[in-house]
Each structure stands twice: as structure tokens, then as C-alpha cells.
Amino acid sequence: MNKDLKKVEKESRYLVKESKRILQKYNAKLSADQLEPLQNALNDLQESIENQKVEGSRQALKALEYMLDNDYRFARKSVMREWAESLIFALVIALFLRTFVLEAFKIPSGSMIPTLLVGDHIFVNKFIYGVRLPFVGKRIMKWNEPKRGEVIVFAYPHDQTKDYIKRVIGLPGDTVKVSGQKFFVNGEEIKQGKSEKFYYTDETTGQKRASLLYKTNLGDSLFDTIYEPGRHHPEVEYVVQEDHLFVMGDNRDNSADSRSWGQVPFDNIKGRAILVWWSSASHDGMRLGRIGHLIE
């Protein structure tokens, strides 16, 4: 197909689509005699293009366009209707994606520092664990379960209107023990590397806070956790209920999590945090280096 014929074929796509729509929609409303001219004009155009007749295709295209603009004008969609349908279709697709596939969240607190900073904008994969009905909050289909070490977004068990983000520590049936700056899952101590000093800005006071940072290995995830030096941690043990998760923030001494308000029901899980797509902080300014940062 030469260049000129390709141009005609490209220009004809919408008119061909519109002609077929009218023929199908008005098949029972108009007689065969009334629809025959349109069908013939459409056939002429398609045959000319198929036989690679450039001039014949141009003439057939003009004839079809004239016929649609005049004889079948009553059946054509208006520009406003085309625009409205496109907009509605785009909104439906966006709503579907946001409800069931991918949603953007903004980190409101420092409970996940240093993994996630206050002001980080993240994407959450809502499809990875199954399908959860909006408003009802019931998971109707499930094909994956959260793993230890994954960062999840969920509806706060005591107020379904609030979304929380934490890291999965314990799965159903697990025994989680917290002892000082160490923690254990089913009697096995979770590996944490040698501590190093770490400083961050407290979003409530604007002051720099000193902490100890550990490289932590849990499940398939390697991530950073921080503790406040000299903070007392009594030994506490928890048993994870069926269809529940035990979660904790990476900022261990500044996180309200399963240690204080309980465990997360599976039905509350909205999805897995996967990516920081934009990063800013109220005190330290934009962190360009964290844009596109994968969450582990």
C-alpha cells in the first residue's frame, strides 16, 4: 500500500465505523431501500482501498462523507455527543482502575520512616490479593495472600474511613514476640544488621530526631527499621488470629500498629504498596531522588 492510499485509508476509518454503526442501529428502523445507498457507498470505498485504487478511494471517500453529512445526517452523532461519550468512557475506565486495580495514596505520618516519608505519594496494587467490593469492604475473590515483609494499605479496623499503611510481620497462626529492639516470628529471631545512626525530621515539631537504623531481613524483603536509642521495650508476645495479619511500622517507636490497636482482618486489606511516584516532605522539601522508588 503506497503512501497516498495509506492516507486515504487512515482518513476513512472514522467514516467506515460511523457507517457500520448507522447500518446496524437502523437495520430494523429503516427499509432496505433507505439503507442500500449507504451500504453501496461503504462497499465502494472498501473495495477501492482493497484494490489499491488511490483516485477511486478518494472519490468513494468524498461520496461517503457527503452522504453521511446530508442523507444520513439525522443518524450521525453530534460532536458534543462524541465528546461526552469519550469523557464518560474515560471516567468509567479510571473509576474501574482506581476501585479494583491501582490507586494513589499520600503518606500522612512518619510511622513508616525511613521506607516512606511524610508527603510521599505512592501507588497501591489493589488487584494483587484479589477483588474487594468498595463500600461493603468484603473480599469476594482471593488469589494471593500477603507475605511477611510486604507493605500493605488497609482500612483501619476501628474506623473504616481511615486508611493505614504498615508492614506485614505475622501471618495467621504465627507467634510474634517483641523483646527490646529484637523481634521473633515463631521463635526465630528476625535478622537485623549492625545499627547505625540515623536522623530525620519530626513532622509535628520540625525538630531533628536521632535514631538507630537496622537493615532488616524478613521473608523475601530487605528493608530499614529505626528505633529510638535508650527506649525501653518490654517483652510482649502475640498470636495472630485466623484471617488476620500482625503489622508494624518501620519507625518502630513512633508507630501505632498491631502492638497497640490489634490485628488487621483480611477483608480490610486494600492492596500492596509498590511504588513511590512522587516524593516531598514538609520540612526537607522535594526528594527528587526518591521519585520512582520501589517499596520493599
Tens of pLDDT, residues 227-266:
998 777 788 999 999 999 999 999 999 999 999 999 999 9
Cα separation, 241 vs 263, in Å, equals 8
CATH number at residue 147: 2.10.109.10
> Within this chain, do residues 30 and 121 fall inside the same structural domain, yes or no?
no
Show which residues are catalytic: 111, 166
Residues 130 and 260 in one domain: yes
Residues 153 and 216 grouped into a single domain: yes
pLDDT band at 95 (very low <50, low <70, confident <90, very high): confident
Is residue 212 one of the residues assigned to a domain? yes
For residue 79, what pLDDT is reported?
58
pLDDT of res. 153: 96
Q: Of 95, 149, 148, nearest to 126 (Cα)? A: 95
The answer as to whether 20 is a domain residue is yes
pLDDT at 81 over 70: no
Please indicate, yes or no, whether residues 260 and 130 belong to a single structural domain of this protein.
yes
pLDDT one-digit tens code per residue, 19-75:
888 888 888 888 888 888 888 888 888 888 888 888 888 888 888 888 888 888 887
Instruction: Please report the pLDDT score of residue 232 as a whole number.
Output: 76
| pLDDT at residue 205 greater than cutoff 80 | no
Highest averaged pLDDT of the listed ranges 55-59, 195-199, 276-280 = 195-199
What pLDDT, on the 0 to 100 scale, is given for residue 285?
Answer: 46
pLDDT at 49: 84
- Report yes or no on 206 lying in a domain: yes
Residue 96 inside a domain? The answer is no
Question: Do 67 and 7 fall within a single domain?
Answer: yes
Residue 266 belongs to some domain of the structure? yes
Looking at the fold, whether 235 and 150 belong to one and the same domain comes out as yes
Ranges 99-103, 107-111, 286-290, most confident: 107-111
| 155 contacts 137 by C-beta, under 8 angstroms | yes
Are 58 and 185 contained in the same domain?
no
Range 285-290 average pLDDT: 54
Q: Band the pLDDT of 217: cuts 50, 70, 90.
A: very high
Domain check: are 212 and 68 in the same one? Answer: no
Q: What is the pLDDT of residues 223-232, one digit of tens each?
A: 999 999 877 7
208 and 107 within one domain: yes
pLDDT of residue 281: 60
Domain count, the chain: 2
Range of the domain at 49: 3-76
Domain contains 12 = yes
Query: Looking at the structure, do residues 107 and 72 belong to the same domain, yes or no?
Result: no
CA distance 232 to 187: 21
**CATH number for the domain harbouring residue 36:** 1.20.1270
Answer yes or no: do 67 and 110 share one domain.
Answer: no
Is the model's pTM score more than 0.75? Answer: no
